[in-house]
Amino acid sequence: VYSENHTVNTDANGLAIVNIGEGSPLSGNYGTIGWAGDQHFFNVQVDTGSGLVDLGTTEFKAVPYALSSADNPWIKNGSYIYNGTEAVALGFSGPPTGKMEIRHNSGIPDPQLTLYEDQNDYSRLSFANSNGNYFWTIAGYNNPLLDNDRLNFYNSRLGDIVSITGDGKVGIREFNPEQRLDVNGKLRIGDDGLDATEGTMRYDSASGNFEGYNGSDWEQLNNEVCLTKAVVTNLGYMALSYDFSYYQDGRFGITVDFNIRVDTSTVALGSTFTLTGAGGSATGTITFLNGGSRLRFESTNTFLSVAPCFSGGMTLTISGSGGSSVLDLHGNPIDGDLDGMYGGDFVVTFDIVC
C-alpha cells in the first residue's frame, strides 16, 4: 500500500488541489505501483485539527493514460506492434533465456506453442540470418490420409531435405518415401563405441567390411559372390556343365558334370580336399554322384578366404591315385589335361568377376 501526505491551502472557492505522487511518502513506493495489472483504490483522510477524518475509499475505474502507457513496452506502428529492447517471459516471472521463453506444463492438446494454418496448407516456422535471402523452414501438414501427412525440413536453395510421413516413413532428399528410411543418394555407415543390438549395421574400417549384428556376433554383409563363371581348360572329357553355390554362412560349393563316368576308385580322394584360389586355398570334401559323372566339392571355410571380390580364379584339379591316371568305367585312361596323351589332371578354373 502506498500512502503520502500533502499540506495544502484551499482556494477562493474552498477547493484544495493535490497531485498524487508528489506528496511526502508515508509508506510504499509510488514508482513501483503496477497500474496496468492490479485493481487500485483511492482513500482520502483530512486532518481537521483534532485528528484524521476518513472521507471514504473509491476504486479507480480508469488508470490515467500516461501512467498505464508507461507500463506498456509495446509500440504500435500501423498494423503491428514492436519492442526493440525488452525480452518476453511467458508463464513465469523472472528474466527469460533469450528474447522469449515460454514455461508451461504442456500436454498433447495443450502445448507451449501452436502454429495454426487457416488454409489447406503447411504451418511453417522459418530460420534466417544476415547472410543473404536464404532460409530454412520446418513445415507441418495434416491430411485426411495418414500417409499424406508431412513434417518437412526445407532449404530455400535445395528444396525438401527431410520429409517425414504420418505413417512413419522418413525420406532424405525424397519427398515421398516408400520405406521406413528412403535415401535419395549415397549412405555412409561408420561405427561407434555403443553396444550393439540385434539388427545393427556398421562399417568396420579395420577389415573394410560392412557387418550386421545377429544378437551375439558380427557377420560380414559384403561377402556375396558378385558373379562366377567357369573356364574349362580341358574339353576332351569334361561336359560344359557346372554350378557354383553360395551358402548363408559364407561357405561355397562347386558341382561339375562330366560327359563320361569316372571310375572313382582311381581318383585321389582323402578325408579333405584342397582347392587353390587367387586369395588363398580352401579345404573341403569332394564326392562323386550320378555313377561317377558328377563331382561335388563342399568347402569348410568361407568363400572370401579363397577368392576375395576381385578378378581372379579358383582351380579345381582332379588327379589319379598313386600317380596313375584317372580311368573311366571301362578302365581307359582319360586325357585330363588335353596334351594328346592319356593321363593328366582334370582342371577347371572358376574365374571370380565382381
Least confident of 153-157, 277-281, 309-313: 309-313
pLDDT confidence bin for 235, thresholds 50/70/90: very low
At 168, the pLDDT band (50, 70, 90 cuts) reads: very high
Mean of pLDDT values over 100-129: 96
Mean pLDDT of 48-69: 77
The answer to whether 211 and 191 are in contact (CB under 8 A) is no
Q: For the segment 170-223, what is each residue's pLDDT rounded down to a tens digit? A: 999 999 999 999 999 998 888 888 899 999 999 888 777 788 898 988 877 755
pLDDT tens for 35-50 read 766 788 899 999 888 8
pLDDT band at 97 (very low <50, low <70, confident <90, very high): very high
* Angle (nearest 5°) at CA 260 between 256 and 265: 85
Q: How far is CA 141 from CA 116, 144, 151, 229, in A?
A: 10, 10, 6, 53
* pLDDT score recorded for residue 70: 57
Per-residue pLDDT, 292: 82
Pick the range with the lowest mean pLDDT from 26-30, 35-39, 49-53, 92-96. Answer: 35-39
Distance of alpha carbon 354 from alpha carbon 147, whole angstroms: 39
Give the span between the Cα atoms of 141 and 135, in whole angstroms.
19
Query: Which grid coordinates belong to 136?
Result: 530454412
Residue 65, pLDDT above cutoff 70 = no
pLDDT reported for residue 251: 79
Using alpha carbons, select from 29, 23, 28, 27 the residue that is nearest to residue 7.
23
Q: Which three cell numbers stand for residue 150?
A: 508431412
Residue 234 has pLDDT above 90, yes or no: no
What integer best gives the mean pLDDT of the chain?
81
SS (H, E, C) the chain: CCEEECCCCCCCCCCCCCCCCCCEEEECCHHHCCCCCCCCEEEEEEECCCCEEEEEEEECCCCCHHHHHHCCCCEEECCEEECCCCCEEECCCCCCCCCEEECCCCECCECCCCCCCCCCCCEEEEEECCCCCCEEEEEEECCCCHHHCEEEEEECCCEEEEEEECCCCEEECCCCCCCCEEECCCCCCCCCCCCCCCCCEEEECCCCEEEEECCCCEEECCCCCCCEEEEECCCCCEEEEEEEEECCCCCEEEEEEECCCECHHHECCCCCEEEEECCEEEEEEEEEEHHHCEEEEEECCCHHHCCCCCCEEEEEEECEHHHCCCEECCCCECECCCCCCCECCEEEEEEECC
Question: Is 70 exceeded by the pLDDT of residue 252?
Answer: yes
Q: What is the pTM of this model?
A: 0.49
Instruction: State the pLDDT at residue 253.
Output: 80
Nearest to 302 by CA among 253, 256, 351: 253
pLDDT interval class at 264 (50, 70, 90): confident
Please list, in sequence order, all residues whose beta carbon lies within 8 angstroms of the beta carbon of residue 208, skipping any fewer than 6 positions away: none
Confidence check: pLDDT of 164 > 60: yes
Mean pLDDT to the nearest integer, 251-278: 73
Encode pLDDT of 124-156 as tens digits: 999 999 999 999 999 999 999 999 999 999 999
Identify which has the larger pLDDT, 10 or 169.
169
Give pLDDT tens digits for 320-345.
787 787 888 888 887 666 666 666 56
* Beta-bridge mates of residue 162: 153, 172
Q: Residue 241's pLDDT is what?
A: 62
